[in-house]
Amino acid sequence: TLAITVKKSDFSEWYQQVIRKAELIEYYDVSGCYILRPWGYFIWEQIQRYFDDLIRTEDVENSYFPMFISAKHLNKEKEHVEGFKAEVAWVTKYGESDLNEPLAIRPTSETIMYPAFAKWVQSHRDLPLKVNQWTNIVRWEFKFPTPFIRTREFLWQEGHTAHSTKEEAIKQVYTILDFYEQVYGELLAVPVIKGIKTESEKFAGGDFTTTVETIIPQNGRGLQGATSHHLGQNFSKMFEINFEDDKKQKAFAWQTSWGLTTRSIGAMIMFHGDDKGLVLPPRIAKYQIVIIPIIHKDLDEKQLNERCEQIKQILIKQKLRVHLDNRDNYSPGWKFNKWEQKGVPIRLEIGPGEFKNNEVRVVQRFDNKKYQIKIEEINKLNQILDNIHNAMFEKAKIELNQRIKQADNWKEFMIQLNQRNTILTKWCERQECEQQVKGKSGMESKEKDSEINGQVQLTGSAKTLCMPLKQDEIKEGEKCFHCGQQAKRYVLWGRSY
């Protein structure tokens, strides 16, 4: 049926219906893989354009590396791959013949890129080296797939840099983290929390991981939005990426790597959608405005169409993405419904009244506000779209903050967790304390545990999402909420995707 048959509160069913009825996704017969239709792919293209403009200011150069990795190469950095090798997909045949050695399909490209980095970096004058690539990635996840959020093939960018000093590398990590915050806030109107991953949640191959985390308001689950890692010299020692510094000393390069994926689109859908379907932030909408003529017996159809075409041309001159839906085989009501489902930020209706008074009827998708504007005021629409973006962002910030609570002890912590909130607590930073919280919160959780491939997934357990960059200082004597030992940092806990 055309309509979405559930409310957003029936969240997972709602999400599945919205992504199809907004024509973002089509299903595909390989589990965990989905077709990205034009309406959805356009969003990824806007993210690429915006992020490329940002990293260009950092002199990052786009490039392309092969997608196949020999086992020898992949296992070069054992530790980094060890925990993940179950997810690596392999090519073992071509035609009827076997490959004499299987090739991994890239799950990430450190082991593909860094042997080349070692060739390119000899002197400190070859640094900093900064490359990025936009590719697909394959990870044979066995957790239940969700389009955009968790898929076996996804699109991402991965940036990799090499520097002559630790300071420069660390500065790079945080510059990129700020760019990720901008992609989410300025483009997708999705608020994020910048933070640092705990030792047990960080990328094992690196020194430390910074992250932008968001919280899906409907279920209070944390969602990792993008990560920016300081790799230290771990990979440069492994791959011999060294250089002669200005004192003629051999030194290992200091590296970073950072990634943002199509999961960001899933976060945007979840934050902004409503019972009528998708609600697109204007900056990533394939159509920002749809014009719908309302044919009427007292109105000459040809004149009406000319008026609509004229308005369309004015909007194109204002650099807006506009679509005139003058199909005669669908009713206005049907069109209203369809373009609302697809999340078009503004609909302009032009019927007999508007025609006579030289105006248009504006219907805003985000808040359903309706009003008339004169044709000579059409230039207001650029500002109106900006105001819509800002209003969507402000609303999302309020909803995110409503899902963050504080707790000073275990009882308060579990009350909040079972109300599907994330919880900010003082913490001792001890890994065993973190593991105990994970285990106990799973046991005491009201959420049912899911069973996948015979493995119980503690869906109910809380994990650390990040240690927020912005946090109060902790003083001597302030205790860890769980173990009572001296606290060191505030950490945000939650169930997560």
Q: What is the C-alpha separation between 287 and 284, in angstroms, rounded?
A: 9
Q: Is 32 in the site for ligand 87C (CB under 6 A)?
A: no
Tokens 């394939």: give the residue.
286
Q: Is 114 in the site for ligand 87C (CB under 6 A)?
A: no
Give the dihedral of Cα atoms 291, 296, 302, 303; nearest 10 deg.
Answer: -80
Only one of the segments 42-50, 256-264, 336-344, 441-449 lies at the binding site for ligand 87C (rule: CB under 6 A); that segment is 256-264
Return the closest-CA partner of residue 104 out of 79, 65, 72.
Answer: 72
Task: Output the smallest distance, CB 238 to ligand 87C, in A.
Answer: 13
Task: Output the smallest distance, CB 105 to ligand 87C, in A.
Answer: 10
CA distances from 203 to 196, 208, 228, 344, 401 (A): 11, 7, 10, 38, 27
Structure tokens given for 388: 């819509």
> Degrees (nearest 5) of the Cα angle 299, 303, 309?
125
Between residues 17 and 227, which has the closer beta carbon with respect to ligand 87C?
Answer: 227
User: 84 to 113, contacts with ligand 87C by CB under 6 A?
Assistant: 84, 87-88, 107-108
- Binds ligand 87C by CB under 6 A, chosen from 22, 158, 271, 487: 158
Between residues 107 and 195, which has the closer beta carbon with respect to ligand 87C?
Answer: 107
Task: Output the smallest distance, CB 108 to ligand 87C, in A.
Answer: 3
Between residues 83 and 484, which has the closer beta carbon with respect to ligand 87C?
Answer: 83
Q: Which residues contact 242 (CB under 8 A, 6 or more apart)?
A: 118, 121, 236, 250, 251, 252, 253
Between residues 87 and 478, which has the closer beta carbon with respect to ligand 87C?
Answer: 87
Task: Output the smallest distance, CB 53 to ligand 87C, in A.
Answer: 20
**Do the bridges between strand 359-364 and strand 254-261 make them parallel or antiparallel, or are there none, so unpaired?**
unpaired
Between residues 266 and 460, which has the closer beta carbon with respect to ligand 87C?
Answer: 266
- Binds ligand 87C by CB under 6 A, chosen from 80, 403, 420, 463: 80
Q: Is 258 in the site for ligand 87C (CB under 6 A)?
A: yes
Q: Is 232 in the site for ligand 87C (CB under 6 A)?
A: no
Q: Is 139 in the site for ligand 87C (CB under 6 A)?
A: yes
Query: Site for ligand 87C (CB under 6 A): how many residues?
Result: 15
b/e burial code for range 256-285 (CB count within 10 A of at least 16 → b) = bbbbbbbbbbbbbbbbbbbebbbbbbbbbb
Number of Cβ within a 10 Å radius of residue 10: 14
Q: Is 81 in the site for ligand 87C (CB under 6 A)?
A: yes
Q: What is the C-alpha separation between 274 and 9, in angstroms, rounded?
A: 9
Q: What is the C-alpha separation between 252 and 117, in angstroms, rounded?
A: 12
Between residues 163 and 307, which has the closer beta carbon with respect to ligand 87C?
Answer: 163
Between residues 257 and 341, which has the closer beta carbon with respect to ligand 87C?
Answer: 257
Q: Is 337 in the site for ligand 87C (CB under 6 A)?
A: no
Q: Is 283 in the site for ligand 87C (CB under 6 A)?
A: no
Q: What is the C-alpha separation between 461 and 476, in angstroms, rounded?
A: 30
Between residues 229 and 489, which has the closer beta carbon with respect to ligand 87C?
Answer: 229
Task: Output the smallest distance, CB 433 to ligand 87C, in A.
Answer: 25
Q: What is the C-alpha separation between 88 and 377, in angstroms, rounded?
A: 56
128 upstream amide cis, omega within 30 of 0: yes
Task: Output the smallest distance, CB 190 to ligand 87C, in A.
Answer: 19
Q: Can you tell me whether residue 332 is helix, strand or coil?
A: helix
Q: Is 254 in the site for ligand 87C (CB under 6 A)?
A: no
Q: Is 257 in the site for ligand 87C (CB under 6 A)?
A: yes
Q: Is 259 in the site for ligand 87C (CB under 6 A)?
A: yes
Q: What is the C-alpha separation between 462 and 437, in angstroms, rounded?
A: 7
Task: Output the smallest distance, CB 51 to ligand 87C, in A.
Answer: 13
Binding site residues, ligand 87C, CB under 6 A: 80-81, 84, 87-88, 107-108, 139, 158, 203, 227, 229, 257-259
